[in-house]
Amino acid sequence: MMGIHVGGMFHCTRAVLPGMMERRVGAIVSISSIHALRGQAFAANYAAAKGAIMGFTRSIAHEKASYGIRANAVAPGSIGSQL
């Protein structure tokens, strides 16, 4: 769970940051979840991964603001699906 959710977001961010910093502009949008904020029974690993994304995104927002780079995380709630 951590490798897919956090690792994927981390590697993508690491790949695009140098160009954004050079151009002094950019926007990073990460996908988190409402469960990062309030937890989820029987899905602690999912909630932890999405919480890590929120923390990472906040840190990048603070660190890279002086380069004109914005970072935000979208945290949708539960989404019903029909199969």
Residues classed as catalytic: 46
Q: Can you say how many angstroms the Cα of residue 24 is from the centroid of all Cα atoms in its chain?
A: 21
Cα separation values, 26 from 9, 71, 76, Å: 16, 8, 23
61's tokens: 């927002």
Amino acid at position 53, single letter: I
